[in-house]
Amino acid sequence: MRNTYSFKSSISPGSVFTVFAFLAVMCSLQEIMAQDAADVLRKMDDVVFAGEDQTSGIRLIMTDRSGNERVREAKVWQKGSNKRLFRFTSPAAEAGIAFLSLPDDVMYLYMPAYGRERRIATHVRNQSFAGTDFSYEDLEALRYSERFEASIAEEKDNHYILRLVPLPGTRSDYSEIIVTINREHYYPERMKSFDRGGQEYKIADYRFERKGDYWTTTEIRMTNLKRQHSTRMIFDDIEFDTGLDDDIFTVRNLTRY
């Protein structure tokens, strides 16, 4: 009781106002920073998903801990920020295997050997796509700002460093992503992902180049820290805004191989 009285007696109306003002300023600052972080993430998305559509060839070079390399080649079609078709062209054993990502977590896999497509359930999202260090989730064409809540972890002269955590109700196998964003052009330079247990899981290093009106990814190096295995995804023959038809992103087209 004594302590309570003592406490009460030590607070003046002025100091109460000061505390509330401080809290209000802090909340506003936090909101402003969160707002800034969300804006930065949206701008990053605008760069990553630049253009109405995009077509490119892809070379995947997988390197194991002993330095042995295996190569995969594929072609990718993307429209907007939620439709992507990925089709392997080599090696022969995997040529024709295709993956279609559509809005609302709908994904299909086509295996030519079976002659029919297969819906992919969400348990596959965290699995390696065809032995690479990219998971099905990594290959989905979905805007980060629609799946993750961003906060500024650090600001540097040339970079924003954001901390991303999945929005409530979002299915992700990453508990957290720390993304380093180029301050001038807003493209990601590095993403460090953490698994659900909070352990460091993957690091993706991005290389962007200016192609016409857009900054575009020319290479992603994905390193799986657990497997000590990495995959370089090298993009070539990149074309923007060729007017890709919605028919490309259908099961009808997926099975045309």
Among 8, 12, 104, 237, binds another protein (CB under 8 A): 104
Closest CA to 202 of 175, 234, 166: 175
Closest CA to 55 of 81, 84, 87, 78: 78
CB of 158 to another protein, least distance (A): 36
Among 18, 26, 35, 119, binds another protein (CB under 8 A): 119
Q: Which two tokens stand for residue 118?
A: 């297969």
Among 15, 25, 70, 167, binds another protein (CB under 8 A): 70
User: Interacting stretch for another protein, rule CB under 8 A, among 8-16, 116-124, 140-148, 162-170?
Assistant: 116-124
Residue 30, number of CB atoms within 10 A of its CB: 11
Our CB check for another protein shows the closer of 74 and 162 to be 74
Asked if residues 174 and 166 have their Cβ atoms less than 8 Å apart, the reply is: yes
CB of 131 to another protein, least distance (A): 5
Q: Residues with Cβ < 8 Å from 174, sequence gap 6 or more? A: 137, 166, 193, 194, 195, 196, 201
61 binds another protein (CB under 8 A): no
User: Interacting stretch for another protein, rule CB under 8 A, among 18-26, 44-52, 125-133, 147-155?
Assistant: 125-133
Q: Which two tokens stand for residue 66?
A: 């002993």
Q: What's the Cα-to-Cα distance from 234 to each of 56, 238, 242, rounded to whole Å?
A: 10, 11, 21
User: Interacting stretch for another protein, rule CB under 8 A, among 17-25, 118-126, 144-152, 206-214?
Assistant: 118-126
Residues from 227 through 256 that contact another protein (CB under 8 A): 227, 229, 246-247, 249-252, 256
Asked if residues 83 and 143 have their Cβ atoms less than 8 Å apart, the reply is: no
For 135: left if phi > 0, alpha if psi spans -120 to 50, otherwise beta; the answer is beta
169 binds another protein (CB under 8 A): no
Q: Kindly state the DSSP code that residue 195 receives in the 8-state scheme.
A: -
Q: CA 196 to CA 129: how far, in whole Å?
A: 19
Among 17, 32, 118, 183, binds another protein (CB under 8 A): 118
User: What residues make contact with another protein under the rule CB under 8 A?
Assistant: 64-65, 70-71, 91-93, 95, 104-106, 114-116, 118-124, 126-128, 131, 171, 173, 196, 227, 229, 246-247, 249-252, 256
